[in-house]
A and B are shown apart, each in its own frame.
Chain A
Amino acid sequence: MIPVAVPLLTAGERLDARRLIESQGLAFEDGCDDLVGLYDNGRLVATAGRAGYVLKMFAVDEAFQGGEALGALATALTSLGRAAGHDAFLVFTRPEHAASFEHCQFRLLVASGPVALLECGGGLERYLDAHRHLRREGTNGAAVINGNPFTLGHQYLVETAADQVDTLYVFIVREDRSVFPFAARYRLAEEATRHVPNVVLLDTSRYAVSAGTFPSYFLRRNDEKAELQMQVDVRLFAAHLAPAFGITRRFVGHEPYCETTAAYNLVMKDLLPLYGIDLVEIQRATAGEAFISATRVREALAVGDFATIERLVPETTLAYLHCCL
Chain B
Amino acid sequence: MNITRRASAGTMQSSDLMVYVEPAEQLDIQIESTVKKQFEHLIRDRIEAVLRQLAVTQVLVKVSDRGALDYAIEARVETALRRAAEA
Contact = CB atoms under 8 A, between A and B. Distances in A.
Interface of A: 2, 68, 71-72, 74-75, 78-79, 82, 87, 103-105, 120, 122
B32 A75 contact: no
A104 to B, nearest CB: 5
B59 interface: no
Contacts of A104: 12, 66
B66 A72 contact: no
Contacts of B14: 68, 71, 103
9 contacts: A71-B13, A75-B11, A78-B18, A82-B6, A82-B8, A82-B20, A87-B20, A103-B34, A105-B34
Range of interface residues on B (Cβ < 8 Å): 10 to 19
A105 B13 contact: no
B11 A105 contact: no
Given A71-B11, A75-B12, 16 more contacts: A2-B11, A2-B13, A68-B13, A68-B14, A71-B66, A72-B11, A75-B13, A78-B12, A78-B18, A79-B8, A87-B20, A103-B14, A104-B12, A104-B66, A105-B12, A105-B64
A203 B55 CA distance: 39
A49 B5 CA distance: 26
B48 interface: no
Given A75-B18, A122-B32, A103 B66 contact: yes
Interface string B1-30: 000001010111110101010000000000
Contacts of B66: 71, 103-105
Nearest to A107: B32
B33 to A, nearest CB: 8
A103 B16 CA distance: 12
Contacts of A68: 13-14
Contact of B12 (A74, A82, A87, A122): A74
Contacts of A2: 11, 13, 16
Nearest to A87: B20
A71 B32 contact: no
A72 B10 CA distance: 11
Nearest to A73: B12
A82 B64 CA distance: 14
Given A103-B66, A105-B32, A72 B8 contact: no
Most buried by A among B8, B10, B12: B12
Contacts of B32: 105, 122
A122 B31 CA distance: 11
Interface in B35-79: 64, 66
Nearest to B62: A122
A33 to B, nearest CB: 18
Nearest to A5: B11
A72 B64 contact: no
